[in-house]
Structure 1
Amino acid sequence: MNLAVDNTSLFIAFALVLIAVFISMREKLDLSKDILFSITRAIIQLVIVGFVLKYIFQVDNTILTSLMSLFIVLNASWNAHRRNPNQHKKFFHSLLAIFVSTYVTLGVLLLAGAINFIPSQIVPITGMIASNSMIAIGLCYRNMQAKFQDQRQQILEKLALGATIKQSSQDILRHSIKTAMQPTIDSAKTVGLVSLPGMMSGLIFAGVDPVHAIKYQIMVTFMLLSTTSLGSIIAGYTAYTHYYNHNHQLRD
């Protein structure tokens, strides 16, 4: 199968973006600039990454592959860190959560022989794992911030009665981790029935037997459940301490 997207096809497809811009202007959503900026940024980033990946794939060097994988993890960690609304946040905690969740999952896949340590497999899989972990951690952070604000009085009462900061925050932690994992769980429930995700659709589009494509998608589903659970748990249990000072008092 000969698959090719030329510049004319891209130009015509850009009309889909204009539909979103038109709706934003028509309904006065004030999103037109954000849409155009995000599209411009996406194009620039993808073009640069495309040439970088082409070089890495051709060289097929273990060190370069590892560095590219680490770059993806660091970038995902920085973006997750930025999504944390707590002013006392620490970058290391986001890095720890994404680093562990990504490389534990990646390590299991390598040991199982599901993937090989070659750039054409390691780099895309690392990106899929790290991005999903980043999204889950961001949800965990935002939910935690909202819950600590809403339940401030309850937490103060628990602390006054002698509860530890962990006991006082347990309900918030559980709810935040659950919120972070829920989109992945919901997606797993509907995969194949409502949606045909990227991995499966891409393989089918490239002419791979759908039965073989399904196996890869099952692997991806396992992979994403693992990384979102590990990432959100590590992020949650390291981030909740930021809401307390050194004397175990709730910060203002």
Structure 2
Amino acid sequence: MESSDFSASSEFWLDYLKGMLKPVAATAVVVLAIVLSFVQRLGLEGEMAYSIFRSFLQLSIIGFVLEFIFTQKNAAWILFAYLFMVSVAGYTAGQRAKHVPRGKIIAGASILMGTAITMFLLVALKVFPFTPRYIIPVAGMMVGNAMTVTGVTIKKLREDLKIQKSLVETALALGATPRQATQRQVRRSLVIALSPGLDNAKTVGLIALPGAMTGLIMGGASPLEAIQLQIVVMNMLVGASIISGIISTYLCWPVFFTNAYQLEPRVFASD
């Protein structure tokens, strides 16, 4: 029995090492980029090497983690993986809006609610089964897009409110609610944050084939099957991003305004 386990383990690692030959060979492209950076004196050689090494390490680790989770039948692992992704995304988005108090909490809560609502609808409508193999990759895509939109929305909203502070304060003095006084700034921040994703949705398949679709085609699936999944993916990404972005604007009010419906001076004092 032990000999059989050892043989199976050896075969696994041998197959894994063989599979890593192509990823390692692909780093030749990065080496070329590093050489060009050195020749052009861009000073990005160290950052490029660090970024590629970090991504290589992170993906390798997450590959083993997912391999383990996919073999588990306990739904708790799905929840754990999902909350971990949301936590990292909230921290990253909050870093973008570093001048907003409790920005990481606001971003994390917005991403959590936006992606959870979208995920619930997808599972309820039986678009995806509630299994790790489906939910974790789908959740990762939604959380990643919601992270970008939420971070940009919060950061841009604060910047616009600071620039147009007098206009907002005048509206508040005339009896407007925070939502009414900041309607223009909220709309602008959401449009800026969501525009890249919406533009991508408009041109999907015309300029470049998206990752999910490309992966399926390269894996041997029919292009018609690939586009069915990609349509689902695009819909869920847009939905999760819009919901998360809108929620983040509501959650910003307690830190942007005082209880007397005045702009919080400490939030807009720093650059």
TM-score, structure 2 normalization:
0.84
Of 232, 253, 256 in structure 2, the residue corresponding to residue 243 of structure 1 is 256
Is 1:189 matched with 2:194? no
| Cα separation, 2, equivalents of 1:154 and 1:211 | 52
Is 1:136 matched with 2:149? yes
Is 1:165 matched with 2:178? yes
Matches within 5 A, 1:30-49: 30-49=43-62
Is 1:127 matched with 2:140? yes
Structure 1 residues 21 and 245: alpha-carbon distance in aligned structure 2, compared to 1, 3 A threshold: farther
2:239 matched residue in structure 1: 226
| Cα separation, 1, equivalents of 2:68 and 2:213 | 26
1:202 matched residue in structure 2: 215
Which protein shows a greater Rg?
Answer: 2
Equivalent pairs, count: 249
**Which amino acid letter does the alignment assign opposite residue 233 of structure 1?**
I
Structure with greater contact order relative to length (CA < 8 Å, sep ≥ 6): 1
Farther off after superposition, 116-125 or 82-91: 82-91
In structure 2, list runs of 5 or more residues that go unmatched: 1-16
2:109 matched residue in structure 1: 96
| Cα separation, 1, equivalents of 2:168 and 2:44 | 38
| Cα separation, 2, equivalents of 1:119 and 1:63 | 10
Instruction: State the Cα distance separating 1:15 from its structure 2 match.
Output: 2.2
**Which amino acid letter does the alignment assign opposite residue 237 of structure 2?**
L
- Deviations 1:172-202, CA, capped at 9 Å, x for gaps: 1111111121111111100111121011110
- Deviations 1:194-224, CA, capped at 9 Å, x for gaps: 1210111100110001101110001011101
Instruction: State the Cα distance separating 1:11 from its structure 2 match.
Output: 3.1
**Which amino acid letter does the alignment assign opposite residue 151 of structure 2?**
G
| Cα separation, 2, equivalents of 1:240 and 1:19 | 48
| Cα separation, 2, equivalents of 1:118 and 1:167 | 43
Secondary structure of the equivalent of 1:114?
Answer: coil
| Cα separation, 2, equivalents of 1:54 and 1:159 | 55
**Which amino acid letter does the alignment assign opposite residue 227 of structure 2?**
I
Is 1:148 matched with 2:148? no
| Cα separation, 1, equivalents of 2:31 and 2:163 | 40
Secondary structure of the equivalent of 1:86?
Answer: coil
| Cα separation, 1, equivalents of 2:40 and 2:160 | 32
| Cα separation, 2, equivalents of 1:158 and 1:22 | 56
Q: CA RMSD in A?
A: 2.1
Structure 1 residues 191 and 158: alpha-carbon distance in aligned structure 2, compared to 1, 3 A threshold: same
Instruction: State the Cα distance separating 1:23 from its structure 2 match.
Output: 4.1
Instruction: State the Cα distance separating 1:230 from its structure 2 match.
Output: 0.1
Matches within 5 A, 1:71-86: 71-86=84-99
- Deviations 1:3-47, CA, capped at 9 Å, x for gaps: x97444333311222333344444444433322222222112111
Is the 1:69–1:126 contact (alpha carbons within 8 Å) kept by the matching residues of 2?
yes
Is 1:52 matched with 2:65? yes
Structure 1 residues 32 and 169: alpha-carbon distance in aligned structure 2, compared to 1, 3 A threshold: farther
**Which amino acid letter does the alignment assign opposite residue 16 of structure 1?**
V
**Which amino acid letter does the alignment assign opposite residue 56 of structure 2?**
I
Is the 1:173–1:237 contact (alpha carbons within 8 Å) kept by the matching residues of 2?
no
In structure 1, list runs of 5 or more residues that go unmatched: none
| Cα separation, 1, equivalents of 2:181 and 2:27 | 51
Percent identical: 32
Is the 2:69–2:132 contact (alpha carbons within 8 Å) kept by the matching residues of 1?
yes
Is the 1:105–1:226 contact (alpha carbons within 8 Å) kept by the matching residues of 2?
yes
